[in-house]
Amino acid sequence: MITAPFISTRRQLLKSAGVGLPWNDLLANPSPNLGERPRQDKGLSVINPLGGRVPVSFIIDDSTCLVNLAYYGLPQFMEAWPGHREKFKNTDWKRWPQEIPDTFVLKFGMWCRKNGVKGKYSIVPFPACVGWVDRVMPGWSRKELRESLKLVRDIMMQDWDIHSEMVTHTCVIDPKRGRPLEQKADGTYWMENGGWTGERSVDEIANYIAYSLTMLKNADLPCEGFTTPGGFGNPRQDRLSLAGMQAVRSVFDAEVPHYFKYVEDKGAETQPRIENARGLKSDSPECMVNVPSCTGDWFGGWTGIDYGEEAAGVDRLITADGQNGRMVEVIDAGAPASMLCLWPGMYCNGNEVGYRIFQGAVKRLNAHYGKRVVWMKLSEMARYWAAKELTKLVRRDHGAVQLTAPYAAPGYSLEIESKNQTAPKLFIGEERKSADLSEAQDSQIGLSNHQWRRSEGSVEICFDLPKGVSIIEL
């Protein structure tokens, strides 16, 4: 299990911009409280879903309806941060397209569906202060905005979680007025990627996140989670987690809220982390799930111009022989593997280099791993890990195992140390309703729901875990 502080802050934007807290201080700040953990007896291990298949996912940041966030965001970052003024002073950003067209969204979404890809897709609700996804987007007609939102609902939401990515991804907004905060004393601006949250209370941070989520709710885009732009929440990571849980539950009544903020691009400590778990014995348990990525944005970057040679980009994720690359490293360790991209870096101002790198990596992953991996939304991964860590697992008399789950989870897979040669029996609920189980074939990869198999000294069983009590008899 990941221990805090466990991963580096996404994109290291604050460090490169020369603003906010020193990097070492960020890592020393309070990490979220993990909260309660139930009893889980020895010899009982929850393995990866569907009999040990490795979850993979694709995380898309800086996306929204119509607006190319790079075009509108870069001048605001340059004005707010001297480091960006120097870094991009010779960048001809005015030649970039102002729009990432819906034709590209449709092409991307349909290709992903054909190839089984799932993940998370941000919708920045007030992108770079251009306009509001729940109201009007100046520069585009209301009809174009409605059609763009419909495309997200009809195409993307089938395979992707929708997240708010704060409010603007650039300037911090006053939720009471809907306008950016005034300049700071030094002439710069409060940016969502910066240190605004440092002295804010849990309630203030929760209110800000809820403000962003409410705009998506108004646009009929349900969310179970949110994404932080860059360093948002860095100064008080403990408050961010608690505030985010409050916000997602209050706006969408999500049972298992989650968020994306962190990157772990080295090692295999990429499991979701369950934070602020409480009330596990009640009818209304609570927790927040922190889902990291295992790569940085190795496509086209947040500007859409930071791509390298296409073949090398694919190899960095997975080589043609399937033997090397970051995704190979993580998947072979049995850890969840979520790639990260920033949406302008998929489109790359129209040349789509990042998209082709992504396609190449997905084709290789599916070819080399097949059913050894399972594509999942972040919400599906969050739910599974919440059930994995928060389900009470107790051995009873005569080899029986009792599970008491605060959350349901499809494809829940349990390994039980046992030398018993009889087939396991599954009983659901306090009324002990019997559920049929079938034995998996020896050659089968993973397990399907309501299947089991025996290995040396243990039995594995896969079923749709219900909330409440289940009994497995051996």
pTM: 0.93
Structure tokens at 401: 């195992």
Distance CA 35, CA 29 (A): 18
Indicate the DSSP class of residue 120: E
pLDDT in the model for residue 31: 83
Q: How far apart are the first and last CA of the chain?
A: 29
Phi, psi angle pair for 444, to nearest 5°:
-70, 140
414 pairs with which residues across the strands? 46, 461
The torsion angle over the Cα atoms of residues 366, 308, 22 and 31, rounded to 10 degrees, is -10
pLDDT in tens, 372-405: 999 999 999 999 999 999 999 999 988 899 999 9
Structure tokens at 282: 């009640």
Residue 370, Ramachandran bin (φ over 0: left; ψ between -120 and 50: alpha; else beta): left
Distance CA 8, CA 292 (A): 10
Distance CA 264, CA 283 (A): 34
Question: What sign does the dihedral 137-142-145-149 (CA atoms) show?
Answer: positive
Q: Please, are residues 36 and 392 in contact by the beta-carbon 8 Å criterion?
A: no
pLDDT in tens, 260-296: 999 999 999 999 999 999 999 999 999 999 999 999 9
Please state whether beta strands 373-375 and 337-342 pair in parallel, antiparallel, or not at all (unpaired): unpaired
Q: Walk me through the domains of the chain, giving residue ranges and CATH numbers.
A: 8-37+54-381 (3.20.20.370), 391-473 (no CATH)
At 223, the amino acid letter reads C
Q: Please, are residues 310 and 356 in contact by the beta-carbon 8 Å criterion?
A: yes
Query: With a cut of 50, which residues of the chain have pLDDT below it?
Result: 1-28
